[in-house]
A and B are shown apart, each in its own frame.
Chain A
Amino acid sequence: MTGFLVQHGSEIAELTLEHLWLTGSAMLLAAAIGVPTGIWLTRHPRWAKPVLGVVNIIQTIPSLALFGFLLPLPWIGDRAARIAIAALTAYALLPIVRNTYAGIEGVDPTVLEVAKALGMTSGQRLRKVELPLAAGFILAGLRTATVLAVGIATIAAAVGAGGLGEFIFRGVASVDNRLVLAGAIPAALLAIAADTGLGWIENRLKVPAPGRT
């Protein structure tokens, strides 16, 4: 075992970093698309159903198939990493869009009416009231999406995008459990770390509601 670690240690570190890069950039992209989309839907509720429907359908596509579908797209070119990031972004959208939308919709209407009555503009209502009050919910969506993306990113190795999936695929092909674990354990640890870290921030952002007297 020690010998295995000595032999593969630097490769594990390298692939873990690659894995982080794939999921990290996909999450940034998904948040940059998903949060504004969720906000936009609260302003145009007619579109909520169709848009949420589309991101929902994306998530039902088997990940291996989605990576395959994206292969021939010209704007992705031949860079496998870009394909992986695009696919992971698409998967991460649903929890982010849904939670942003639901979080803002769930803000107490009385509080919103008071915000309006005090003379807040609609931009101020969003920045000072709606987003802060929905923040815990939005972060919960980001957390779900991140854990999901860390897992799915292992499939990215199938299109040559690298990441910890490399070990898993190699291990499966050569029937070497040590290789499978060398990919699976760091991937699991990454997921747990993301879950714990984001969960901690999420708890700090939650606002206790005033109780009745």
Chain B
Amino acid sequence: MTGIDESAIAFDQVGLTTPEGRVILDHVDLEVATGSTTALLGRSGSGKTTLLRTVNRLIEPTAGRVFVEAKPTTDWDPITLRRSIGYVIQETGLFPHFDAERNIGAVLEIEGRPKQEIAERARQLFTQVGLDYATFARRLPYQLSGGQRQRVGLARALAAEPKLLLMDEPFGALDPLTRAEMQDMLRDLLQRLHKTVLLVTHDLDEALYLASHIVLLEGGKVVANLPADEFLGSQIPAVQSYVRAVHRGTPQETK
């Protein structure tokens, strides 16, 4: 792979042990190449969300170092670091008392950008994520559907034009059809914007569809790190059993 210097995000022997001695992350070594979309795949409790949150310092590892743009996160001012990274989570992340437009402009607002600039950028983003400005700008989150909320959440993460995007099960709460729609929109958007994306998911198909690289986590350890197109054919036992488990319903046994 690329090495810490050229990668957008790098984990160097990152570990996290709770005060009670439970190991959440275990010597994670991982480099995320600039411009790539990397999916962190794994079952619940595998440590994927925790690993994601060490990037913007919502969680501090107890061992090792995390690098963002070749600089250890501990050398970054946490506020500056977070403002330069887009963050999208499942469903509930919008501010319930901000309308859609103010949610989208939130990062620009806290950076103290001029009102005119925020308004222009917000209009642009409404178009980018496929929402009609006139219809949705004034709506509060509770007046939006799940898919619309997720679009607003994505637009908010893109507002300050971050190079990095962290996404934690972004479409986890959506029905399959809306989910597919959102995945199409995101894939299209990522191809155009050239962001580095770290995506947490337990959905293998989503990882295969969106990611260029797939990292499988198990018990806080990286057990596989493969280009997406090599994942299904991999000989690594952990990968094979994950693939078998989630594709149980589809008959694909060939003898």
Contacts and interface: CB of A to CB of B under 8 A. Distances in A.
B149 interface: yes
A199 interface: no
Interface string B191-218: 0000000000000000000000000000
A207 B97 contact: yes
A203 to B, nearest CB: 14
Contacts, number: 73
Nearest to B111: A119
Interface residue tally on B, bucketed by range: 20 to 34
Contacts of B174: 213
Contact of A114 (B93, B97, B175): B93
A199 B111 CA distance: 35
Contact of A213 (B97, B156, B173): B173
A117 B146 contact: no
A209 interface: yes
A179 B38 CA distance: 80
B226 interface: no
Interface residue tally on A, bucketed by range: 20 to 34
B58 A210 contact: no
Contact of A210 (B81, B96, B106): B96
Interface string B92-133: 111111000000001101110000000000000000000000
A115, A120, A121, A213 interface centre (most CB from chain B within 10 Å): A213
Interface of B: 56, 58, 79-83, 87, 89, 91-97, 106-107, 109-111, 140-142, 144-147, 149, 156, 173-175
15 contacts: A108-B92, A114-B87, A114-B89, A117-B82, A119-B80, A119-B81, A119-B83, A119-B111, A129-B95, A207-B97, A208-B96, A208-B142, A209-B96, A210-B96, A212-B173
